[in-house]
A and B are shown apart, each in its own frame.
Chain A
Amino acid sequence: MALSKAQQAVPLLSVSKLTKLFGSFAACNGIDLDIAPGEIHALLGENGAGKSTLVKMLFGVLQPSEGQISFEGRPVTITSPGDARHLGIGMVFQHFSLFEALTVAENIALSLDPKIPLAKIAQEAASLSKAYGLPLDPNAHVADLSVGERQRIEIVRALLQNPKLIILDEPTSVLTPQEADRLFETLFKLRAEGRSVLYISHRLEEVRRICDGATVLRHGKVTGACDPKQETPASLARMMVGAEVAEIHREAGATLGDLRLEVSNLTVPAKTPFAVTLKNVGMKVRTGEILAIAGVAGNGQGELFDALSGEYTVPQDDAIRIRGKSVGRTGINGRRLLGAGFVPEERHGHAAVSGMALSDNLLLARSRSDRKAFLSGGLFSLIRKGAVSSATKRICDVMDVRKSGDDPLAGSLSGGNLQKFIVGRELDRQPSVLIVNQPTWGVDAGAASRIRQALIDLAKAGSAVVVISQDLDEIFEVATNIAVISEGKLSEPHPAGELSLERIGLMMGGIHESHSVPEAASAH
């Protein structure tokens, strides 16, 4: 396809005074945004800033309450994703919608005209993926592919529609540094062809590196439009959160104390065909220590969390020891009673019940460990609503959870605010062992820095903390020691200061040299 030169003057996509009301709440409030042909344009903003709402309006999932979207100079109404595709807008979602049991080609076929034969799709997908440097086997089953490869399916699927504008939502959040570099190459190729990209990210460095323009949202309004190459990460962050992002304070050379969590020879077979087997996992975490476990999604993090939390117990009782006690066969509440706290990755439907009030969600994690405070009536186990509400309020105040009403449904909070509550719920108990899976996944910069600081403070106060994370920036911000999980195997831990980004990237890619790493690291 060729874009005519005449269109260069006209923005490809122009949004003016776009507003979306949910009841009386304006998720987007008079947003103006222009994207030129052949531009990589960044959309920056905290969670709840209105990015998702804006993108959903552009892709026809939501209808604007007011305002105008123009595409190639013509005013348009986009009533469905199908409309958006017809116009030439493609979208790659943060959370992929792929059927794991189907092949790459079959997954792509699902979004296309059913009359096109599968072989033709496979062939086109193969040639497209080659042309854009996105190696992909159309006949592979999605279940066998890495997250990076799955993302390529989504990108190829969008490209098959021959879009003029591609929207990418947090594309690098699941990629290794090397995979991200490869993605950027692809984006540059698309730009060279005159296609535009709307790039949504929290990663300021990335935005500065690849984007030509940026629009910053805060509280549903545009707070800045700039050329990110002229800005510093700090100035971009300022536009996003409205104030300087709090610097994370960590004292170097913290002294480590007693052993709090000890895992040895933990082997857990995969529970489903798509799950990962944990192989001989071992770790030791002491008071004052934050052990960060890096790794690309889907390498056993969820399984490791399940085993550590006791949601799924393991047969070998002494494979996991909390404060010296063997707890392999003890359930989650038994481990909580020993002073452990847990924060799962998935907020909705795991760490919290979306359809229940915040106070109910407090009770969810603490009905047993805080039995004396929250329950009365002996065997009847009556819930003391007053005590639960005041604890809920205390947590919301300490963690600065922004919400509407006193005790709203968990599902009505933005991701960052709900995560602050979920982390605060555990911190409020001052756990002696805290295990957190992806503490700031999909959380805005302000909430993320607050959560990270809280983790560091907790360790300093004498707790042992395990942080499982895919976010390397986060890992380097908080970790005392770093281990890498890959294909269900955990590497030896290394002091955070001795590892470089590249080294971790390689280990995450599955290259295990656990015993030779210290020497290799010192060679850098």
Chain B
Amino acid sequence: MRIELEKRGRVSTLFSIVSPLLALVLTLVFGALMFWMLGKAPLGALYSFFVEPLLDVWSIHELAVKAGPLILIAVGLSICYRSNNWNIGAEGQFTIGAITGSILPVLYPAWHSPVILPLMLLLGIAGGALYAGIPALLKARFNTNEILTSLMLVYVAQLFLDWLVRGPWKDPQGHNFPQTTSFQPEAVLPPLLDSGRAHWGFVFAIIAAVALWFMMRFMLKGFEVSVLGQSERAGRFAGFSARRMIWFSLLVSGGLAGLAGISEVSGSIGHLQPSISPGYGFTAIIVAFLGRLNPLGIIASGLVLALTYLGGEAAQLSIGISDKASRVFQGLLLFFVLSCDTLIHYRIRLVLGSANSPAAKSAVSPSNQTAEVTR
């Protein structure tokens, strides 16, 4: 018996929808297995990991707080990945966006004006975009591998932030803690509702996702992204420029990562500090793929991965499992998503035996031909 993968004539619509759900189910099954091997009651553990965080109003807010940056970054990355530009450095663009967005409240803490917040957001977008412009320039001009340059620039950005908050931007009244002054109220992204911490960053994420979905679905620009992603040569034939697409995709994704950065700092933290992200920029890569690089799918997958962050924290408290469990879940999920995607392009066929299996031996066994191979 063997398993045959048979290429489908057309992409299966059914499995485009079913495959992520199937991946989710498989992740839960294997997660339960992991809990059982750790000596915990599997169902109880899954419950406290994935259900409990959804039962309180405050934790729904937390979900939105964590999903916001994941979705914002991931929809930008989806444009990159669709166009065959592999921006791995969203974490760095997030960090630089947070820094440039914080210039006004840090340097002008006494400026109380309603325009400060929009300016901060614009500066955050500009900072993230410019930082992503570095790998874009290197790739467009010198054909450098953007995976390496964008990834390495993450560490540059993180160390730059570290230096800023321990050096020139340190709050003089901060008891020597490595952080800036707290932002003035006008510089804080307001909460959506009074019932919790969820702020406008989540709304930005939904707007960005819908806008980019519209672009990919209905606009020539979206078509250009897909064509260049699948074949640069065909794109050139269509008169599209792969070089300009490098700039477009990296600037868009960098700008959105920068917006996520300043939204996080302004909406959730309220000041700059050495660590402003639990790895949103990297987790967003999983979010992008789990959402099949479709901006609307990314909204759903962003919520799912935000839940793994929350569940990790919750399970640590309630059943005493290391919060590394959330990393395991993220890894399982990515693995199963990528495997289940095979079903979209292929159908699986079990071949029971073979009509002429007895003859198989004569073909496989080394016959006297082998000796003659070289004469």
Contact = CB atoms under 8 A, between A and B. Distances in A.
Interface of A: 1, 22-23, 25, 63, 66, 68, 74-79, 83, 85-88, 112-113, 116, 120, 124, 160-162, 309, 311, 331-333, 336, 342, 344, 346, 349-356, 360, 363-365, 367-368, 375, 377, 380-383, 404-405, 408-409, 412
Nearest to A335: B239
Interface stretch (B145-153, B264-272, B278-286, B350-358): B350-358
Residue from B238, B347, B355 whose CB has the most chain A CB atoms within 10 Å:
B238
A383 B218 contact: yes
A129 to B, nearest CB: 14
B6 to A, nearest CB: 7
27 contacts: A63-B4, A77-B357, A78-B363, A83-B363, A86-B370, A88-B369, A112-B373, A160-B375, A331-B239, A332-B236, A332-B238, A333-B239, A336-B239, A350-B231, A354-B230, A355-B230, A356-B226, A360-B223, A365-B237, A367-B220, A381-B221, A382-B219, A382-B220, A383-B220, A383-B223, A409-B9, A409-B10
A375 B10 CA distance: 26
A333 B354 CA distance: 54
Contacts of B45: none
Interface in B292-326: none
Interface string B328-368: 00000000000000000001000000111101101110110
Given A124-B374, A311-B236, A355-B230, A77 B10 contact: no
A75 B239 CA distance: 54
Interface of B: 4, 6-11, 218-221, 223, 226-227, 230-231, 233-234, 236-239, 347, 354-357, 359-360, 362-364, 366-367, 369-370, 372-375
A76 B369 CA distance: 14
A83 B364 CA distance: 6
Contacts of B373: 85, 112-113, 160-162
A353 B9 contact: no
Contacts of A124: 374-375
B82 to A, nearest CB: 12
B220 A74 contact: no
Given A353-B234, A383-B219, A160 B374 contact: yes
Given A1-B372, A162-B372, A22 B6 contact: yes
A79 B234 contact: no
Q: Report, nearest first, the 8 A-B pairs whose CB atoms are least far apart.
A: A333-B239, A381-B220, A349-B231, A75-B359, A77-B360, A350-B233, A364-B238, A76-B363
Given A1-B372, A87-B367, A77 B354 contact: yes
Contacts of B237: 309, 311, 332, 342, 344, 350-351, 364-365
A334 to B, nearest CB: 8
B356 A68 contact: yes
B10 to A, nearest CB: 6
Nearest to B358: A75
Contacts of A404: 9
Contacts of B356: 68, 75, 77
B369 A382 contact: no
B239 A112 contact: no
Contacts of A364: 227, 234, 237-238
A412 B10 contact: yes
A112 B375 CA distance: 12
B234 A350 contact: yes
Nearest to A60: B363
Given A311-B236, A364-B237, A367-B223, 17 more contacts: A25-B9, A76-B362, A76-B363, A77-B363, A77-B364, A86-B369, A88-B369, A113-B373, A113-B374, A124-B374, A124-B375, A160-B374, A162-B375, A360-B227, A408-B10, A409-B11, A412-B10
A417 to B, nearest CB: 14
A20 B227 CA distance: 32
A349 B229 CA distance: 11
Contacts of B357: 77
Contact of B230 (A112, A356, A375): A356
A365 B8 contact: no
A355 B9 CA distance: 10
A22 B5 CA distance: 11
A412 B239 CA distance: 25
A408 B9 contact: yes
A262 B323 CA distance: 71
Given A367-B220, A409-B9, A76 B372 contact: no
A151 B291 CA distance: 47
Contacts of B366: 86
Given A160-B374, A311-B236, A365-B238, A79 B360 contact: yes
Contacts of B374: 112-113, 116, 120, 124, 160
A307 B356 CA distance: 55
A368 to B, nearest CB: 6
Contacts of A78: 363
Given A349-B233, A368-B239, A375 B363 contact: no
Contacts of B354: 77
A121 to B, nearest CB: 8
Nearest to A333: B239
B3 to A, nearest CB: 13
A1 B354 CA distance: 33
Contacts of B363: 76-79, 83, 86-87
A346 B223 CA distance: 21
Given A74-B359, A78-B363, A356-B227, A351 B239 contact: no
A80 B328 CA distance: 39
Residue from B355, B360, B363 whose CB has the most chain A CB atoms within 10 Å:
B363
Nearest to A120: B374
Contacts of B11: 409
Nearest to A66: B355
B11 to A, nearest CB: 8
Residue from A25, A331, A367 whose CB has the most chain B CB atoms within 10 Å:
A367
Nearest to B373: A161
A63 B367 CA distance: 21
A79 B194 CA distance: 67
Contacts of B367: 86-87
Contacts of B8: 23
A75 to B, nearest CB: 4
A105 B227 CA distance: 39
Contacts of B231: 349-350, 353
A367 B359 contact: no
A247 to B, nearest CB: 33
Contacts of A1: 372, 375
Contacts of B4: 63
Contacts of B227: 353, 356, 360, 364
A351 B236 CA distance: 10
